[in-house]
Structure 1
Amino acid sequence: MRLAIVLYEGFADWECALLMAAARTHLGVDIDVATTNGAPVTSMGGLDVSAHLSIDALDPAGFDGLVICGGLTWEPETMPDLSTTIRAFDRDRRLVAAICGGVNALAVSGLLDRTDHTANSAESLAALTGYRGGQRYRDQPQALRSGHVVTAAGTAPISFAGEILRGLGLGSAELDGFLALYGQEHQTGQNGRAPD
Structure 2
Amino acid sequence: MKQAVFVVLDEYADWEGAYLSSMLNQTDDWEIKTASIREHVSSIGGFRTVIDLNLAQISDDVDLLILIGGNSWNIADKKLKQLVKQRLVNNQPIGAICGAVDYLAKSGLLNKYKHTGNAAYLWDEFDDYKNKQNFIEKQVVRDHNLVTANGTAALEFTSEVLKMIHFKDADAIERQVALQKLGFYKYCMKYGNPFA
Same fold (TM over 0.5): yes
Question: Residue 170 of structure 1 is aligned with which of 158, 164, 167?
Answer: 167
Cα displacement (A) at 1:114:
1.0
In the other structure, the counterpart of 2:42 is: 42
In 2, are the aligned partners of 1:86 and 1:109 still within 8 Å (CA)? no
The structure 1 segments of at least 4 consecutive aligned residues displaced by more than 3 Å after TM superposition are: none
In 2, are the aligned partners of 1:126 and 1:134 still within 8 Å (CA)? no
Scaled by the length of structure 1, what TM-score is found?
0.85
Letter in 2 for 1:151: T
Question: Residue 75 of structure 2 is aligned with which of 70, 73, 79?
Answer: 79
Bigger fraction of residues in helix: 1
CA distance in structure 1 between the aligned counterparts of 2:94 and 2:48, rounded to whole angstroms: 25
CA distance in structure 1 between the aligned counterparts of 2:28 and 2:181, rounded to whole angstroms: 19
Cα displacement (A) at 1:91:
2.3
In 1, are the aligned partners of 2:91 and 2:144 still within 8 Å (CA)? no
In 2, are the aligned partners of 1:89 and 1:95 still within 8 Å (CA)? yes
CA distance in structure 1 between the aligned counterparts of 2:125 and 2:58, rounded to whole angstroms: 28
Cα displacement (A) at 1:29:
1.3
CA distance in structure 2 between the aligned counterparts of 1:134 and 1:29, rounded to whole angstroms: 35
Give the 3-state SS of the residue equivalent to 2:23 in structure 1. helix
In the other structure, the counterpart of 1:25 is: 26
In 1, are the aligned partners of 2:93 and 2:145 still within 8 Å (CA)? yes
In the other structure, the counterpart of 1:108 is: 106
Cα displacement (A) at 1:27:
6.2
Superposition RMSD on alpha carbons, in Å? Answer: 1.5
Letter in 1 for 2:66: V
CA distance in structure 1 between the aligned counterparts of 2:107 and 2:83, rounded to whole angstroms: 9
CA distance in structure 2 between the aligned counterparts of 1:97 and 1:127, rounded to whole angstroms: 24
Give the 3-state SS of the residue equivalent to 1:67 in structure 2. strand
Scaled by the length of structure 2, what TM-score is found?
0.85
In the other structure, the counterpart of 1:153 is: 150
The runs of 5 or more residues in structure 1 that have no matched partner are 186-196
Give the 3-state SS of the residue equivalent to 1:182 in structure 2. helix
Q: State which drifts further: 114-123 or 103-112.
A: 103-112
> How many residues matched?
179
